[in-house]
Structure 1
């Protein structure tokens, strides 16, 4: 659990390096929160029959949404806004661990706007995020796996 929350402790720290464990545990936390919120959202949604009836009668289809849906939407919006900076920061630090500049992430995000090329760029980026970091110190800091370096939890 500590690895999942570490990017929040290093909220806007775009310098230094992050190991794969920090990046992927934060990604796992993101997936878990998203799945729970989507379950709440879809669990509180009206059936298709109720939506069709509401549309035929001219009623507001959003009025048919249950409280669970609104709670799920509120949680995912608040969580998403609170997680965007730590998400970018941990991704930049992960790139630093591989001795790449963090600006590569901006390129991947912009390429994501182009349908086929964006998909290929994001798949390549996924592979890069899975690769181990540079052994020993690099221009972005000491190796986070080096036992002689200070612990990130202190």
Structure 2
């Protein structure tokens, strides 16, 4: 749950780098929350919208759009790619597959133009 909260704390932070773990745990927990809210919408009989989203699930989806884009951009930065690569998701089928491929790749070792590698201890000590 810490990885999910960490992404929400960086709500609209598009600079820096994010680890695979941060991205995938955020994605997993977001999917589980969406599923739970969808069930709650059905049980409570809340109105649905065009694609079958209930009110709670739709509100959550709106809330999570910006953090989701931000963590995708930071994940791309971790591989020394510009965040503009996220736009590839709008290419039907192939774009999503390419983006998933990017998301499963490991970090580029060491520092890059987007900052230090979050996987490596940079020797800093905080109290």
- Asked if the contact 2:116/2:122 (under 8 Å) is kept, the reply is no
Q: 1:149 to 1:105 in 2, by over 3 A?
A: farther
For 1:149 and 1:36, how far apart are their aligned partners in 2? 41
Unaligned runs of 5+ in 2: 48-52
Query: Please, which runs of 5 or more residues in structure 1 have no aligned partner?
Result: 45-67, 112-117
Q: Is the 8 A contact 1:142 1:149 kept in 2?
A: no
Identify which of 48, 61, 74 aligns with 1:93.
Answer: 74
1:105 aligned counterpart, secondary structure:
helix
More helix by share: 1
Instruction: Determine if contact 2:41/2:57 at 8 Å carries over to the other structure.
Output: no
Which of 67, 75, 89 is 1:109 aligned to? 89
Q: Deviations over 1:20-59 (max 9, x none)?
A: 11100110111101211222344x4xxxxxxxxxxxxxxx
Larger radius of gyration: 1
In the aligned structure 2, how far is the partner of 1:89 from the partner of 1:101?
Answer: 12
Separation of aligned partners in 1, 2:97 and 2:86 = 13
Describe the SS at the equivalent of 1:70: coil
For the residues of structure 2 that align with 1:10 and 1:102, how far apart are their CA atoms? 16
Question: Which whole-Å deviations, capped at 9, do the CAs of 1:104-153 have from their partners, x for residues lacking one?
Answer: 112x2321xxxxxx1122112112101101000001000001112558x9
Give aligned pairs, total. Answer: 122
Instruction: Kindly report the root-mean-square deviation, in angstroms, between the aligned alpha carbons of the 2 structures.
Output: 2.2
Aligned twin of 1:121: 95
What is the TM-score normalised by the length of structure 1?
A: 0.71
